[in-house]
Amino acid sequence: MSAVENHSSVPERIFSAKLLPPAYASLMLGVFFLIPLGIMLAVSFFHRVEGAFYEPAFEFANYARFLDAFFIKILAFSIGLSISAAVIAVMIAFPFTYSLTRASRSTQVFALVFLLAVLSLSEVIIGFSWSTLLSRTAGISNLFAALGLLERSAAYYPSLPALLLGLVYLSFPYTVLVLYPALSRLDPELSEAAQMMGASPVRTFFTVVVPVMKRTIISTIILAFVFTLGAYILPQTLGKPPHWTLSVHITDQAIFEANLPFAAAMAILLLLVSLLMVAITLLMGKDDAAGGKA
């Protein structure tokens, strides 16, 4: 870069060199994000031909169909479920990552590699593994029964707790990997000072570390929220039909009913609502973010 700056006598070159990165970014954003989103937006206004496919049109019928108690309830449930999963995941991941950053180098490397390995598992594998672990015939309840804790083995899925467990498991590695850089940069002197003044490690954690990391925590929750909102296999494998999220219903419309306009309209609405949630969260965090970044 300094070479370019020194040769300011060649303005064209600076011009192109400086513009190249943003141009590349815009191109990628356009090709992989804006154009597909635009197509989806267009399709969401198309006319569904029942029993066949769709034809180009401009109508609000697909959005109108969504404004029905049934789908609004599903939307509310999906958002509530994803928020719960995100908050639980971060509640577990934050202390875990904090202790990890204070562990030895080799432990850190091992844990991070392990988490990356977990990340490589697909939703399908996670869903099937948990359904086996929570099953009556082969699951952990057999262990409880053998230990005499239960009279006989029981099935723990499909159920809401099973689904939450699966979603937390799915988002946990992401939350740790997002929290890790921020927490490892956290100045150790902060907690040392607190402890010198007599605070216990636990108290230090809650009164010093957590407040300082507030923004990181909020952004990690948002990330996990958006991530779990897209899960559509876990609700089917670990949840009962009332727990099927909007993503499941979108998949149903798109893949099984051939109703792409309605699926697109639902996806656009889900996108808008989650953007709104993110905006509200960010606005709420703005006022008292003075403690700020790590």
Partner 1 sequence: MFKKVTRRQFLKTTTAAGLGVLAAPAILRAAGEPLKVGTYGGYFQESFDKHIYPAFTEATGIEVESISEPTGSAWLVQLQAAARAGQAPADVSMMTQTAASKGAKDKLWMPLDSSKLENTSKLPEHFVRKYDDGSVYAIGALSWYITLVTNTETYPDAPTSWKDMWDPKYKDTLGLLAKVDNSFLLEVTATTWFGGTDIMDTDEGILKVMAKLAELKDNVRLWYRDEGQFQQALETGEIPMGQYYHDVTGLAAADGQPVRSTFPKEGGILDSGSWCLIKTSKRQEEAQTFINYMSQTDIQAKLARKVGTAPTVPRELTDLTDEEFAAVSSDIKPIIPRYDLYNSKGDWLNQKWAELIAS
Is position 255 an interface residue for partner 1 (rule: CB under 8 A)?
Answer: yes
Instruction: Please state, as a whole number, how many other Cβ atoms lie within 10 Å of the Cβ of residue 212.
Output: 19
Of 142-150, 197-205, 229-237, 278-286, the window that binds partner 1 (rule: CB under 8 A) is 229-237
Provide the Cα torsion 229, 276, 221, 31; round to 10°. 60
The structure tokens 């957590």 sit at 210
Cis peptide before 188 (omega within 30 of 0): no
The structure tokens 């991530």 sit at 227
Q: Residue 200: what are its φ and ψ, rounded to 5°?
A: -75, 160
Is position 92 an interface residue for partner 1 (rule: CB under 8 A)?
Answer: no
Q: Which is nearer to partner 1, 93 or 165 (CB)?
A: 165
Non-local (6+) Cβ contacts of 40 within 8 A are 264, 267, 268
Among 103, 138, 143, 280, which residue sits at the site for partner 1 (rule: CB under 8 A)? 138
Is position 231 an interface residue for partner 1 (rule: CB under 8 A)?
Answer: no
Among 51, 56, 188, 198, which residue sits at the site for partner 1 (rule: CB under 8 A)? 51
Is position 78 an interface residue for partner 1 (rule: CB under 8 A)?
Answer: no
Q: Residue 182: what are its φ and ψ, rounded to 5°?
A: -65, -45
Tokens of 181: 């850089």
- Best CA proximity match to 229, nearest among 250, 214, 215: 250
Q: Which is nearer to partner 1, 158 or 285 (CB)?
A: 158
Is position 74 an interface residue for partner 1 (rule: CB under 8 A)?
Answer: yes
Is position 237 an interface residue for partner 1 (rule: CB under 8 A)?
Answer: yes
In the bound complex, what is the minimum distance in angstroms from residue 256's beta carbon to partner 1? 5
Instruction: Please state, as a whole number, how many other Cβ atoms lie within 10 Å of the Cβ of residue 281.
Output: 16
Q: Which is nearer to partner 1, 223 or 233 (CB)?
A: 233
Of 103-111, 182-190, 250-258, 284-292, the window that binds partner 1 (rule: CB under 8 A) is 250-258
Is position 70 an interface residue for partner 1 (rule: CB under 8 A)?
Answer: yes
In the bound complex, what is the minimum distance in angstroms from residue 47's beta carbon to partner 1? 13
CA distance 83 to 222: 8
Q: How many angstroms separate the most distant Cα atoms in the chain?
A: 85
CA distance 172 to 66: 32
- Best CA proximity match to 167, nearest among 254, 77, 249: 77
Is position 215 an interface residue for partner 1 (rule: CB under 8 A)?
Answer: no
Among 43, 44, 46, 48, which residue sits at the site for partner 1 (rule: CB under 8 A)? 48
In the bound complex, what is the minimum distance in angstroms from residue 234's beta carbon to partner 1? 12
Is position 233 an interface residue for partner 1 (rule: CB under 8 A)?
Answer: yes
Cα dihedral sign for 89, 91, 97, 103? negative
In the bound complex, what is the minimum distance in angstroms from residue 3's beta carbon to partner 1? 40
Counting residues that bind partner 1 (by CB under 8 A) gives 31
Is position 254 an interface residue for partner 1 (rule: CB under 8 A)?
Answer: yes
Among 37, 111, 133, 155, which residue sits at the site for partner 1 (rule: CB under 8 A)? 155
> 33 to each of 36, 135, 219, 253, how far by Cα in Å?
6, 40, 21, 22
Is position 136 an interface residue for partner 1 (rule: CB under 8 A)?
Answer: yes
Site residues, partner 1 (CB under 8 A): 48-53, 70, 74, 124, 128, 135-138, 155, 158, 233, 236-237, 241-242, 244, 249, 252, 254-260
